[in-house]
């Protein structure tokens, strides 16, 4: 079954996402080799530059999310995609580390802001009752696009020539232009009217909402599982489980295929704060079970270890999908209707911090700690998952009624 939805705004947004993520797949698969083999940078300098750029990029998440509350998120995201096209093309001019660092910072600034604006646009297209479904649909489409892009990048990597790498970079830049053009086919989404009482307290509003940050922080901790799958599991599989390197591709392909097939189906039941919190609890427990399965591969013969790695990845993917939709549902439903972008920016900021610390933390805990490290991560995921419903009820207890928000309509400026 195709992940592309029926005709309408969500289909248009899905096609824009597909174009965008084909480029993401091209760049994710080819960036490291382009920058090291063609540009001539060292792997260490690429890693350091991306770390710095990633941390700098987090600074625009909230400002641009807030801007999406005051402007049409469709137009704002299209403008950001055009900026990303220019920055992506600028990699063709990189010939030194300072030039790479400048371009990488610009890339991560625009990408981080784009994520916050995208969240506001998804809320506008899906409406209050359909935004979690829209989020899940776009995630399935994104995984399909990344898989296609990574497959296309294989041709450039196989050729391993300067021209092939240049075509790869240009292809990535072009997909941003296609995505921007598709976004402009969407209708405009005027911002929700701002209650007069909220005008003076809008700036920094999300960062002052401690109860929202507690729930979002719990989701951010669970987001460490993304680093587990993309970094820790590949290294563990080869160095500790004794699996041959091609198994890494099988693990990632299993996750991608299941995401495309199951993302929409497993998004059900995440509408509303209490149901989403329960789903996040299930996600934490399932992810904890996956950590135990990964740990159990240590010391097994190769064939059983490979089989168990794949089973663990299936379990991991279910937890991953539940976490994604439940986390999105909580971030949307706990946000005031006139500040969805700002709250999504704060949520993205916390998730970005988790992505920043995840590689160093998890490689230390799991790869150096072995089986006890896996158990510790599993206990962390289970504990956070179990705590989430109580945190959500705590946050819900202080959510103002619509009348307290000057009757700001929840569906104002939103379209299905």
* Residues 224 and 143 grouped into a single domain: no
Q: Residue 378 sits in which domain range? A: 206-399
Q: Both 63 and 27 in a single domain?
A: yes
User: According to the model, what pLDDT value does residue 348 have?
Assistant: 87
CATH number at residue 75: 1.20.1250.20
- The DSSP result for 162-215, as a single string, is HHHHHHHHHHHHHHHHHHHHHHTTSPP-PPPPPPHHHHTT-TTTGGG-HHHHHH
Residue 174: closest CA among 76, 36, 27, 64? 27
Yes or no: say if 126 and 10 are a contact pair by the CB < 8 Å rule.
yes
Provide the CA 231 distance to its chain's centre, in angstroms.
15
Q: What does the chain come to in residues?
A: 416
Residue 247 lies in a domain: yes
Is 198 contained in some domain?
no
Whether residue 216 lies inside any domain: the answer is yes
Q: Please tell me whether residue 252 adopts helix, strand or coil conformation.
A: helix
- Within 334-362, where are the H helices? 340-362
Tens-digit pLDDT string for the chain (416 aa): 567 788 899 999 999 999 999 999 889 878 888 898 899 988 778 878 887 888 898 888 888 888 888 889 999 999 999 999 999 999 999 999 999 999 999 998 998 888 889 988 998 999 888 888 898 999 999 989 988 988 888 888 888 899 999 999 999 999 999 999 999 999 999 876 665 544 445 556 788 899 999 999 999 999 999 989 888 888 898 888 888 878 887 888 899 899 999 999 998 878 889 999 999 999 999 999 999 999 999 989 999 999 999 999 999 999 999 999 999 999 999 988 888 888 988 998 999 888 888 888 888 899 889 999 999 999 999 999 999 999 999 998 877 654 334 333 333 333 33
- Of the candidates 302, 12, 319, 287, the residue with the CA atom closest to the CA atom of residue 137: 12
Residues 39 and 144 in one domain: yes
Does residue 40 form part of some domain?
Answer: yes
Q: Do 65 and 96 share a domain, yes or no? A: yes
3-state secondary structure of 406: coil
- C-beta separation of 325 from 135 below 8 A: yes
Q: Give a yes or no: residue 188 inside a domain.
A: no
What integer pLDDT is reported at residue 203 of this predicted model?
A: 58
pTM of the model: 0.80
Does residue 291 form part of some domain?
Answer: yes
Give yes or no: residues 162 and 23 share one domain: yes
What is residue 63's predicted lDDT score, i.e. its pLDDT?
87
For residue 303, give the CATH number of its domain. Answer: 1.20.1250
Task: Tell me, yes or no, whether 364 and 287 share the same domain.
Answer: yes
- d(C-alpha 200, C-alpha 21), whole Å: 38
Q: Which of 129, 148, 183 is the last residue of a domain?
A: 183
Q: In this structure, what token pair is assigned to residue 399? A: 């959510």
User: Same structural domain for residues 146 and 241?
Assistant: no
Q: Look up residue 13 and give its two tokens.
A: 């947004």
Let me know whether 241 and 366 are in one domain: yes
How far, in Å, CA of 289 to CA of 188, rounded? 44
Is residue 242 included in any domain, yes or no?
Answer: yes
Residues 170 and 41 grouped into a single domain:
yes
Cβ atoms of residues 126 and 5 within 8 Å = no
73 within some domain? yes
pLDDT at 241: 85
The pLDDT, as a whole number, for residue 164 is 92
Residues 6+ apart with CB under 8 A from 410: 128, 337, 402
Residues 234 and 168 in one domain: no
Contact (Cβ atoms closer than 8 angstroms) between residue 283 and residue 389: no
Please indicate, yes or no, whether residues 114 and 263 belong to a single structural domain of this protein. no
Q: Are residues 257 and 151 both part of a single domain?
A: no
The total of structural domains in the chain comes to: 2
């Amino acid at each position: 079954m195709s992940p592309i939805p029926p005709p309408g705004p969500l289909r248009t947004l899905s096609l824009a996402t597909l174009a965008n993520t084909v480029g993401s797949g091209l760049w994710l698969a080819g960036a490291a080799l382009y920058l090291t083999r063609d540009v001539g940078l060292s792997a260490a300098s690429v890693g350091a530059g991306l770390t710095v750029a990633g941390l700098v990029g987090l600074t625009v998440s909230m400002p641009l999310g807030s801007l999406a509350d005051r402007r049409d998120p469709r137009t704002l995201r299209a403008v950001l995609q055009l900026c990303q096209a220019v920055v992506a093309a600028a990699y063709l001019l990189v010939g030194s580390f300072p030039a790479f660092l400048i371009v990488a910072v610009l890339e991560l600034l625009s990408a981080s802001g784009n994520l916050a604006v995208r969240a506001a646009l998804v809320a506008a297209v899906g409406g209050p009752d359909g935004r979690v479904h829209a989020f899940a649909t776009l995630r399935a489409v994104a995984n399909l696009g990344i898989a296609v892009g990574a497959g296309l990048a294989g041709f450039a990597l196989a050729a391993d020539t300067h021209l092939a790498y240049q075509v790869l970079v240009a292809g990535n830049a072009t997909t941003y232009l296609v995505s921007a053009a598709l976004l402009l086919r969407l209708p405009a989404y005027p911002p929700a009217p701002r209650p007069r009482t909220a005008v003076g307290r809008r700036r920094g509003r999300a960062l002052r909402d401690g109860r929202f940050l507690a729930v979002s922080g719990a989701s951010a901790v669970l987001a460490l599982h993304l680093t587990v799958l993309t970094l820790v599991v590949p290294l563990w599989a080869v160095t500790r489980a004794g699996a041959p390197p091609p198994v890494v591709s099988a693990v990632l392909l299993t996750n991608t295929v299941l995401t495309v097939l199951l993302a929409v189906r497993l998004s059900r039941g995440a509408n509303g704060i209490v149901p989403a919190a329960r789903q996040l609890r299930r996600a934490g427990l399932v992810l904890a079970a996956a950590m135990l399965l990964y740990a159990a591969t240590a010391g097994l013969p190769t064939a059983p270890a490979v089989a168990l790695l794949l089973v663990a990845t299936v379990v991991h993917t279910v937890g991953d999908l539940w976490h994604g939709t439940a986390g999105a549902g909580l971030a949307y439903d706990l946000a005031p209707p006139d500040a969805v972008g700002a709250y999504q920016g704060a949520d993205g900021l916390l998730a970005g911090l988790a992505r920043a610390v995840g590689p160093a933390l998890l490689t230390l805990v799991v790869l150096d700690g072995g089986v006890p490290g896996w158990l510790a991560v599993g206990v962390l995921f289970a504990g956070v998952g179990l705590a989430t419903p109580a945190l959500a009820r705590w946050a819900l207890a202080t959510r103002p009624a619509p009348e307290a928000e000057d009757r700001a309509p929840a569906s104002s400026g939103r379209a299905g």
